[in-house]
Structures are given as structure tokens and as C-alpha cells.
Amino acid sequence: MTAFFQSLGMSHDWAWFVSTICGILLIALPLLLGVAMIIYADRKIWAAMALRRGPNVVGPFGLLQSFADGLKVFLQETIIPSAANKGIFLIAPVVTFTVALMAWAVIPFNSGAILSDINVGLLYVLAISSLGVYGTIMAGWASNSKYPFFSAMRASAQMISYEVSIGFILICVVLWAGTFNLNDIVKAQEGHVLGIFNGFAFNPLLFPMWVMFLISGMAETQRAPFDLTEAESELVAGYQTEYSSMAFAAYWLGEYANVLLMCALNATLFFGGWLPPLDIPILYLVPGFIWFLLKVLFFFFVFSWVKATVPRYRYDQLMRLGWKVFLPVSLLFVVIVSGYLMATGHFA
């Protein structure tokens, strides 16, 4: 894209700047639209599983419900508690929303269709995702209210607990792919199992890692059954209790952008990203971004399915799963996977 703008007479620096801005908009705008439609899909899935109809009034089949909700919160008054730290209170939702979008810079949508194809893409995603907890902690502390503060403490402990096991899980993927570059990790999955299946999840040694990554992703994004930070029976509404209007909407959008990011990481790291499920030539006639989109939507359906059917964990169960089950098992698999790869000469 930089070369195109240079052909229009721009200098290299300006061409790079304009092409980067265009790339960001090409990702951010469809993502925001996708978040709106994903919220609608989420509500429809919950309704279907509870034998209800869900949104069906605003627009055809209720498709415009999310936009109506967005307009409603936009027109509401932003209320700031008198005892709150006003600066941090207003910055917190901005941090959450911004961090949720930043990680998409290194997600490959197709071969070469990536905003920033850096060699440490996976490390970048880990670093950015770990920053998400700051928005929650800032909101809980700045609200100067007991329940938001309790929620912020829960969120920080929960996210740190599951990021540790996610780190060990990703080490297994990096060992097998031999790179931190997400583009190359996808390419390493082509014909990975029996020369037919595209994806690390079909590998018996990495399949348990995918299951743990999926569950840890739900805990990391605070989705049910791990939504202890928003447990309404205990914390009213959690860290966002004191928020209203667009500040509340920013948290809502950030939460769903993070959920979509986890779905995209499941597809990219374990199910071949833009590659078709099977390494059959005719399947490559379908554009790669279509395969990627279908996989992301499938994982989002799984997230919604779990939220609609699985009861909420107790907090001690949540911590036990993270520290006493996932952490030792993921560490064990790092040893098993690295031992297997060394025994078979993979590093030679």
C-alpha cells in the first residue's frame, strides 16, 4: 500500500504514514461493526437456548438492536460520582477499549493480510492482553466504592492466574512452529497431521493445550462461567457499577473485542488461521479470510454456548483450576512437547 501512495507523488514517509492509517481503519471499522453484530448474535444464541426469541423488533429480524442500544447510551448523561477520582475514572474505559483494539495489529486475516507482520507477534499479543487488567483496576479504584474495588481485585488476580498458564500453552505452540511470527505459525500448520489436517489442534500432544487455551481464554476475557468480576449477586455489576453512558459502552465494546480476539487466536494458533481445515486443493479455492472468519464465528458460538449453559464458578474453584490444574498440566506438557521434539530431531 505504501508503494501505491508513493506512485501518487507522496514521499516515502508520508506514503508510509497514510498507508498505516488506512490499514488501521480497515481493521478497526469492520471490527467495531462486527462487535455490534456479535452482540446481536450473542443475544440470539442465548435466547434460542432458553427457547425465547431474542431481539426481533428494531430492524429486520432485530438486526439494528445493537445500534439502537448504542444510540441510547450515547444520549444518556455521563454521571461521575462526587467522591471519584475524576481523571482516572474517565481514562479507565478509554484504556480498556484502546488495548482491546491494539492487539489486532498482528492478527493475520489472510496470507500477507496483516497490519504489522512482526517477528515477535505472539509476544506482542501477550504484552497487550496483559495491559487490559489496568482498565479494570483503574475503574475499580477510581470509583471509590466497595463493590467496584472488590471486582477490580478479583479481575487482577483472575487475569494474572490464567495468563501464567496461557504463557506455558503458547510455549508449546512456539516450540512446534519454531517462530513467534503469527503468519509463520499459521503456515507451519499446513498439512500438520497425516499431511491432511491443517491445525495444531489435530495433534494429540497439542490438543489438550488447545482445550486449556480455550478455557483460559474464557477466564481471561471474564466470560461465563468465569465472570466473577461482574457477579451481580455479589458485586451489583462489578467494576463498571458506577459507569453510565458512553463510558459504560466503551467497556462493553472492549469486552466483546477481547472475546473476538480470543476467538481469532484460537483459530490462528490451533486451527490453521486462514487455511482450510483439510489440505485438499479444491478447498483452497475459497478465499483464506472466509475460512478465518468462519473459524472465528464458530469459536464465538462456543463462547456463547458455554455462557448460556454452564453455571458460574465459585471464586475458590476459579483459582484452584488456574493454579492447581492448568499451571502444572501446561508446565508438564512443555516438558513433554520439547522432549518429543528433541527425540525426533525437530530442532536439528
Assess if residue 27 is contained within a domain: no
Assess if residue 26 is contained within a domain: no
The answer to whether the pTM exceeds 0.85 is yes
Q: What is the pLDDT of residue 238?
A: 75
- Name which of 172, 36, 181, 169 is nearest 108 in CA terms: 181
Cell numbers for 112: 500477507
Stretch 27-47: mean pLDDT, rounded?
A: 88
DSSP, residue by residue, 168-222: HHHHHHHHHHT-S-HHHHHHHTTTTBTTTB-SGGGSTTTHHHHHHHHHHHHHHTT
Q: What is the pLDDT of residue 221?
A: 85
Q: How many other C-beta atoms are found inside a 10 Å radius of the C-beta of residue 57?
A: 10
Residue 128 belongs to domain spanning? 76-344
pLDDT tens track for 166-188:
999 999 999 999 899 999 999 99
Q: What is the pLDDT of residue 182?
A: 93
Stretch 302-307: mean pLDDT, rounded?
A: 92
Stretch 149-175: mean pLDDT, rounded?
A: 88
Q: Of all residues in the chain, what percent carry a pLDDT higher than 90?
A: 35
At residue 338 the predicted structure's pLDDT band, cuts being 50, 70 and 90, is: very high
d(CA 102, CA 83): 32
Q: What is the pLDDT of residue 267?
A: 95
At residue 236 the predicted structure's pLDDT band, cuts being 50, 70 and 90, is: low
| Coil, strand or helix at 223 | coil
Assess if residue 58 is contained within a domain: no
Q: Are 279 and 195 in contact (CB under 8 A)?
A: yes
Assess if residue 292 is contained within a domain: yes
Assess if residue 171 is contained within a domain: yes
Average pLDDT value over all residues in the chain: 87
Residues 6+ apart with CB under 8 A from 87: 142
d(CA 184, CA 119): 9
What value, to the nearest 5°, has the Cα angle with vertex 298 and ends 295 and 304? 145
Q: How many other C-beta atoms are found inside a 10 Å radius of the C-beta of residue 102?
A: 19
Stretch 311-325: mean pLDDT, rounded?
A: 88
Assess if residue 108 is contained within a domain: yes
Phi, psi of 192 (to 5 degrees): -65, -40
* Amino acid at site 320: R
Assess if residue 315 is contained within a domain: yes
DSSP 286: S
Element (H, E) at 68: helix 65-75
Which is more confident, 152 or 125? 125
Query: Is the model's pLDDT at 348 over the cut of 70?
Result: no
pLDDT tens track for 54-94:
888 888 888 888 889 888 888 888 888 887 888 888 888 88
Assess if residue 337 is contained within a domain: yes
Domain count of the fold of the chain? 1
